[in-house]
Amino acid sequence: MNQFVKKASSKISKLSDEQILGIIDTQSAELRIRNLALDNSYIGYMLVQNDGTVMYMNRQAVLLVPSYKRKKYTNTLVHRVVMDDGLLAFIDACLGDSKPAQSNVFEFDDPGAGKRYINCMTLRPGDFDGVLFTFSDVSYFHRFKEEFRKNESLASMTTMAAGVAHEIKNPLASISIYLQLLDRELLRNGSVDKATADKYLSVVKEEVDRINAIAVDFLFAVKPMSVNLEKMSLNDIVDNVAKVVAPELDGKGISLDLRLATSMPNVMVDPALMKQVVLNLVKNAMQAMEGNAEKSGDSCAKEKRVTITSYIDGEYSALSVSDTGCGMTEEQMEKIFEPYFTTKSYGTGLGLTVLFKIMKELSGDVNVHSTLGVGSEFIIRVPIPKDERFRISFGSDSSGSSDYSESYVEACNEEVQP
C-alpha cells in the first residue's frame, strides 16, 4: 500500500463517496497496469510469506516452474503450487533463512522442450514478511555451453590426431631402418644368423609395441566414456588409493601425508574413473620427486612428500594433491594438459589429457599451481549435489527450524591428523 492510500485511509471518514470511488478507480488502474507488465515479463515472479503462503505468482512463473494446475495460485501454500521437490527444498530453506539474497539453477524436464534450466534468485523485500523468488530461463546458455564443449572436444581430437601422426613417425622410422639393415644382411650373406636377426627384430618389436601403446592411449582419450555415477565422498576415494600406493611410496622413500576434512559431502562420481584420476596425480607426484635425493646442491633436493588434502570449496568438493618435486615453469604449466606434452623422457604425454577429460565428464575441473624448485599442486573439484548443498548451507534442529550454518563448512574442513 503506497503512502497516498495510507493517508487517504486514515481520513476515509472525511471523504465523500465520489472521492472514495476515485481513489479505488485510480488504485485499480495502477494495479491493472502493474499486473499487465508483470504477466508479460519474461521473468517469473513468486512472492511467498514466511509461513509458506503464496501471495503472488505471475503467468511466467507458472510457465517456468513445474506447477500444479489450479484456478488460483494466490493465498495457497507453496507445497500445493510447486511440484518439484528440489525447488521446494530450496524455497523452504530460503523461507527459514535471513540471508538477503541467494540463487540456484534447477534442471526441469519439459515434455515439449526437453530439459530446461531455470535460474532462481531470491530477494527479501524490506516491508514484506517473506521472500520474492524470481525465475529466468537460462537453457540457451546451457545449450551454448554444451555446444562449446563439443566444439572444444572436436578441436582437441584434431590436435590429438595430429599428435598421433607425429608420435608414430619416429618408431616407424626405426622399424624401416632396422628392416633395411636386415635386408642388407640377407643380400650380403644370403642368410642371417639367429643372434643378428634377434638384435634387429627385438628393436622392431619394441617400436611396434610403442605404436600400439600410442594407439591405445589415443583411443581411450577420444572415445566416449562410459560413466557410472555413484554418490560417495572423495575421502573414500583417497583412502582406497592410499592403500594401493602406500607400499610403493614407502619403497621410494616418499612420505604420504593425508589431510582429509572431517566430514566431506557426498558427490556424484564414477568410482573407477575418480580412482584413476587420484592415482594418476599421485603417480605424477611420485615421478616428479624420483631422484631428488641424489640431486645434492640442487634447489629441489629435499624431503620427498606427497600431500593429499580434501576440503569444501564453495559449491564444490575439492581434493589437492601436492608434491615436493622440482616444480614447473609457467610455460610448462600452460601446456600441461595438452595432448602429447610431457616433461618426462618416457610415456605418451596423454595421462593428464585423459585426466582433464574425466573431470569434464564428471562436470568438475582441474587446476595446477607450481613453483620452480618448490613443487607442484593439482586441485580437482567436483560439484556438490543440490541436496547435499542444502545440508551444508542450512542446519535443522529438532523443532524443524532452519538456520544458516557457516560453522558447518569450517567444521568439515578441520583436518584429521594421520
CATH number at residue 177: 1.10.287.130
283 and 403 in a common domain: yes
Answer yes or no: is 16 within a domain.
Answer: no
Asked if 321 contacts 306 with a C-beta cutoff of 8 angstroms, the reply is yes
The position carrying cell 545440508 is 391
Answer yes or no: is 263 within a domain.
Answer: yes
Asked if 54 contacts 45 with a C-beta cutoff of 8 angstroms, the reply is no
55 and 176 in a common domain: no
DSSP secondary-structure letter at 261?
Answer: E
Answer yes or no: is 90 within a domain.
Answer: yes
150 and 189 in a common domain: yes
Answer yes or no: is 91 within a domain.
Answer: yes
Answer yes or no: is 361 within a domain.
Answer: yes
Number of domains in the chain: 3
Is residue 9 within a helix (H) or strand (E), and if so which, with residue range? helix 3-10
* 353-410 residue pLDDT tens: 778 888 888 888 888 888 888 889 999 999 988 777 665 554 433 333 333 345 555 5
Give the C-alpha separation, 318 to 274, whole Å: 12
Residue 15: all three cell numbers together? 471523504
359 and 218 in a common domain: no
Give the C-alpha separation, 34 to 58, whole Å: 11
- What's the pLDDT at 403? 34
Domain that holds residue 107: 41-136
Give the C-alpha separation, 384 to 331, whole Å: 32
Is the pLDDT confidence value at 89 over 80?
yes
Of 114, 136, 158, the one marking the end of a domain is 136
Answer yes or no: is 265 within a domain.
Answer: yes
CATH number at residue 408: 3.30.565.10
350 and 242 in a common domain: yes
Q: Length of the chain, please?
A: 418
Percentage of the chain beyond pLDDT 70 is 71
Answer yes or no: is 27 within a domain.
Answer: no
* 241-285 residue pLDDT tens: 999 898 888 888 899 999 998 888 899 999 988 998 999 899 888
